[in-house]
Structure 1
């Protein structure tokens, strides 16, 4: 059922959901519309972003990286936010919404584990019980984050169905929500899902772009020539992009996960290789076969291992305001090593895709251009994967 066309991005978005979810989505939309202009709500939210989460995050000039590639590079440091990634921005906002709706329980899905950790963190702070759904493959490759969630008091449910990754975790979370609709808030972490979630997540993440826009003006006196962010579901990227969409001089680039190569079929390059369809309640681009069945995705970065994407990104692609290109696992690993050795910053594998795309676009942008790259998270969670991948690569060589 298509609940509503409100909140669509061009032809994308909507809420294609079972009848049982309509009440909860209406309740959420009505409450969000009420608090959007509520100064008290946003005073509390902004205070938490500052005093609890650690905002504003720095916009760090990368002198060695800039010299190497002859391009002025600034890094938006979401990796320095409390819990280690941008996910906390959205979770604090949605946590306050759940509290305002008097929900007794919060559920969430997670792939890389960072949204799960942020959810568990906020639930511990607000004293609301929570459960996290996580595909068993992600559970194994992100054991550190699993332990962090459990230490924070969350129950982590291992999902064994389907590809055992983010898509399937989201499926299980939606099933839980249908069953416990009156008492439970589903804290979606990506700018995806049924309306109004893509709008809510974007609005809570737009602080990334608003800060970056102000900071680059302060540092350079002008806007950047281009901005870069990784795109899975798309929350960190839409948070950065939103502040620059109206600035036609700023080129917008989204880095998708090309995995082993788009030609191999082992990838998560939804906007580059997918086509429009319905997944998890919204119309957007997704990976699907000729029969319309959702195909499995692959990426070395668990946060990008998703066959769909947020509807606003689909709109930005079709309107040609943003350019989306695939980055392979190997390209992301190489970019991660370069940034680490040039700047002493080990970013998340997800963020490394954005760094790699920036490196590929240097010639196109020209020497002396100014760019911003969103470092959506830090690489602590990925150390075992990075170590295993680099050891395997060295053995091949």
Structure 2
């Protein structure tokens, strides 16, 4: 019997085709080898599985439901739109799915501290939450620009006991936060674990985070059958690093009849530095310890990027997303700032659900896609996070529209 996609991909060295792998300095080779070995030991351990199931059910609030967006569907006039409600996961986003598991892994390795980067702050809040729950020290690196923009999440992290360290170099956003976190981790690798916040970084993190996030897709597949007695025609999720997308794609990746759409941030336009549409405009390159598709400047270095969504303004992308696009399994879509804000307000005023700006990119693209499909078709969006963190920024920069659409 042949193995499923998730069982057979990546290979033992962490490659998805030519993408992925581990390109790290010698000082980090042993810590990452230890993490890989610990994950292999834990992932099929009955004790680990039992603990994770307990945490997800009795602490996180899983399973999260699927909601039919009736009013949004009627507005678009095409395919039926459904939402996988990761905004209802504890801490308000999908990030806790892998953070709780990563902290259990850290405890298994005898670590006393977790270190991570964060963009929009959702990963930082989730890791601070997991660290508090399991009694570990937590250090979060965040770009100065994002600290100002995502102030509510910064306050939440501090209340939860995390030490928030600003990244003050470069563009002062997500890439710089990753740089800062890696620099801090190297001299602390004996007592700390770097809990990468997406399906990026050196092996085993792209595989490990995908596997921990796959609960989203496995739940969604079963739940969607309850609604439609069928699979969705299309699954849509935003892609920066790409953890929420891989999480929901995992449930449908072997179902070839289901189209998988990863939505990139088109920002303010096509000019380099005005968007973060890596798969659309990038080329192959190594960054932050893995080979993938990345946006490069004229010197071949990581290019400046921009998006209204702080969690998706990253100049590379998870290697599995690069691989799936290269073999034609996924379709890459685009959503710009204006479309994302429009979707933010429409979902809020039509469905009573305020989405994260990152998730609003998936909603904005799905609204365009729905109009091209017949009413007999269905779209499932991974609503990866709630928009509490974004409301001040949005209303300060984009006036609240009249609800009469």
- Aligned twin of 2:172: 164
Q: Distance in 2 between matches of 1:290 and 1:276?
A: 14
- TM score, norm. by length of structure 2: 0.94
Q: Distance in 2 between matches of 1:206 and 1:311?
A: 16
Say which SS state the counterpart of residue 391 (structure 1) adopts. Answer: coil
TM-aligned CA deviation for residue 388 of structure 1: 2.0
1:139 correspondence with 2:147: yes
Q: 2:114 aligns with which of 106, 109, 114?
A: 106
Q: Distance in 1 between matches of 2:13 and 2:184?
A: 25
**Structure 1: gaps (5+ residues):** none
- TM score, norm. by length of structure 1: 0.96
1:272 correspondence with 2:276: no
Q: Distance in 2 between matches of 1:325 and 1:261?
A: 14
1:222 correspondence with 2:230: yes
TM-aligned CA deviation for residue 142 of structure 1: 0.8
Aligned-residue RMSD, C-alpha? 1.5
Say which SS state the counterpart of residue 263 (structure 2) adopts. Answer: strand
Q: Distance in 1 between matches of 2:322 and 2:332?
A: 10
CA displacement, residues 136-179 of structure 1 (integer Å, 9 cap, x when unaligned)? 00011111111100001110001101110010100111111111
Q: 1:297 aligns with which of 282, 297, 305?
A: 305
TM-aligned CA deviation for residue 264 of structure 1: 5.9
Deviates more, 1:363-372 or 1:338-347: 363-372
TM-aligned CA deviation for residue 392 of structure 1: 10
- Aligned twin of 2:135: 127
Q: Distance in 1 between matches of 2:372 and 2:249?
A: 20
Say which SS state the counterpart of residue 20 (structure 2) adopts. Answer: coil
CA displacement, residues 92-112 of structure 1 (integer Å, 9 cap, x when unaligned)? 000100011010111110000
1:201 correspondence with 2:209: yes
- Aligned twin of 2:3: none
Q: Is the 8 A contact 2:112 2:137 kept in 1?
A: yes
Q: Distance in 1 between matches of 2:271 and 2:119?
A: 24
1:58 correspondence with 2:65: yes
Q: Distance in 1 between matches of 2:273 and 2:304?
A: 9
- Aligned twin of 1:191: 199
TM-aligned CA deviation for residue 48 of structure 1: 0.2
Q: 1:264 to 1:274 in 2, by over 3 A?
A: closer
CA displacement, residues 316-344 of structure 1 (integer Å, 9 cap, x when unaligned)? 11111101122110010011111112111
- Aligned twin of 1:364: 372
Q: Distance in 1 between matches of 2:227 and 2:375?
A: 19
- Aligned twin of 2:8: none
TM-aligned CA deviation for residue 5 of structure 1: 6.8
TM-aligned CA deviation for residue 242 of structure 1: 1.2
TM-aligned CA deviation for residue 226 of structure 1: 0.3
Q: Is the 8 A contact 1:258 1:267 kept in 2?
A: yes
CA displacement, residues 235-260 of structure 1 (integer Å, 9 cap, x when unaligned)? 00000011111111111111111100
CA displacement, residues 64-99 of structure 1 (integer Å, 9 cap, x when unaligned)? 112222321110000011100000000000010001
Q: Distance in 1 between matches of 2:311 and 2:198?
A: 10
1:40 correspondence with 2:36: no
1:8 correspondence with 2:24: no
TM-aligned CA deviation for residue 363 of structure 1: 3.6
1:90 correspondence with 2:98: yes
Q: 1:26 aligns with which of 23, 30, 33?
A: 33
- Aligned twin of 2:7: none
Q: Distance in 1 between matches of 2:273 and 2:398?
A: 23
Q: Is the 8 A contact 1:5 1:14 kept in 2?
A: no
**Structure 2: gaps (5+ residues):** 1-10
Q: Distance in 2 between matches of 1:252 and 1:100?
A: 35
TM-aligned CA deviation for residue 292 of structure 1: 1.0
